[in-house]
Amino acid sequence: MNEISIGLLGLGTVGSGVVKIIENHQDKLMHQVGCPVKVKKILVKNMEKHIHNGTDPSLLTNDVDDILNDPDIDIIVEVMGGIEQTRSYLLQAFKNKKHVVTANKDLMALHGGELLKIASENNCDLFFEASVAGGIPILRSITEGLSSDKIVKIMGIVNGTTNYILTKMSQDGVAYEDVLKKAQELGFAEADPTSDVEGLDAARKMAILATLGFSMEIDLDDVSVQGISQVTEEDIQYGKQLGYTMKLIGIAKQDGDKVEVSVQPTFLANTHPLASVQNEYNAVYVCGEAVGETMFYGPGAGSLPTATSIVSDLVAVMKNIQSGVHGGGNIAPQYPKKLKQDDEIFSKYFLRLHVADEAGVFAKITSLFAEHHISFEKILQLPVVKREVAEIVLVTHHASKKDYEDVLVQLNDLQSVKEIKSSYRVERGSIQ
């Protein structure tokens, strides 16, 4: 092949990074794939803006058909975002026998199974490394590097915005709202931060990771999600007293043929390697039956880190083009989906209560937990925060989610329990 041509859907921060890497690394790309690589056409909304910023006008179009229907374009790189319209573009691309590289986690979490199926039917490649954890090659590591192992647990920090917020809350003792405002000013958080702070962004990534790791089609609706907007600086400080660090953690775990997938604020023991991952960085732990524990760490977002993952996928597609093998990596899930019920999900829990400051209250609480076979690992009896009200912090031993939530319901009904202030999952010092 004399040349490989690329069509780019979108020219924002990441798209600009892709163009820059292709231009600056041309010698290396030619060495790897054996021919020149060029960006032939770029879909943008505002052509004048990009021309003003120095982009060659001949590369720009605002008509997607100039890319989808151009027989000379071999690969489409999708970095425009969006779901339904973008899905229709990619389906058309596959019908026109074009390979696709995308960074679109929302699209892949919702329609990944369908897109992979259509890509395979048309002998096209669909790669999406950059959809999870930016510059960290986590998807390729799971599907290729660990392909011979059975993965039993994936656990990680996969959202840089929330990790930045929780890091600053912990280090500086600042309230959530103040740190969020600062994160928005620095560009780490969007003007509407809902997707990040309510855990939706992380949930989409965990759905993708679980699908690939367990070879089981996990949908976004299968992920139990809780965000960080209710986390207080008091919670974080009490956690510190007990030897914990607060992180928004995604967990995908398989026991037998059943899986659980969740995203939630979690207290990690300070000895856990993920507890030291700070600011906007991401890290993912993968545990296999044979390999044991492995950890992948790096920038979870940003123009060039994310673009690096995209261009790595491009190289893989271009090598397939040169060898004449396409669609082989689009492997459908092997196993039927089986999700754990609440009585099959076990964890430790942190619980903070405001109770009546009177004799016998703690005995009632202890008795209630004992009825559900839940014992305590740690207990803090804190000073009275206001007249006739005391604060109790508990950390349980492992308990089923069902038993623990049943206790929470009954605690709410106890007259001596004034308020359940907070409740979080707790993870010990290793992944297993």
Residues with catalytic roles: 205
**What is the phi/psi pair of residue 216, to 5°?**
-145, 130
Write out the two tokens for 39: 């960006």
Q: Are strands 389-396 and 151-157 parallel, antiparallel or unpaired?
A: unpaired
- Contacting residues for 132 by C-beta, under 8 A, at least 6 apart: 105, 138, 139, 158, 205, 208, 209
Q: 245-260 b/e with 16+ CB inside 10 Å = b? A: bbbbbbbbbbeeebbb
List C-alpha distances in Å: 239 to 6, 171, 425: 50, 13, 12
Write out the two tokens for 309: 């993952």
- Which of 297, 319, 314, 334 has the alpha carbon at shortest distance from 128? 314
- Which of 396, 392, 384 has the alpha carbon at shortest distance from 421? 392
Q: Is 294 helix (H, G, I), strand (E, B) or coil?
A: strand
Q: What type of residue is 151? A: I
Distance CA 3, CA 99 (A): 15
**What is the phi/psi pair of residue 252, to 5°?**
-125, 120
Distance CA 311, CA 75 (A): 11
Using CA atoms in the order 164, 168, 169, 170, what is the torsion angle rounded to 10 degrees? 110
**What is the phi/psi pair of residue 245, to 5°?**
-120, 135
Distance CA 184, CA 193 (A): 8
Q: Are strands 99-102 and 75-78 parallel, antiparallel or unpaired?
A: parallel
Radius of gyration of the chain (CA): 24
Distance CA 251, CA 347 (A): 11
Distance CA 287, CA 165 (A): 27
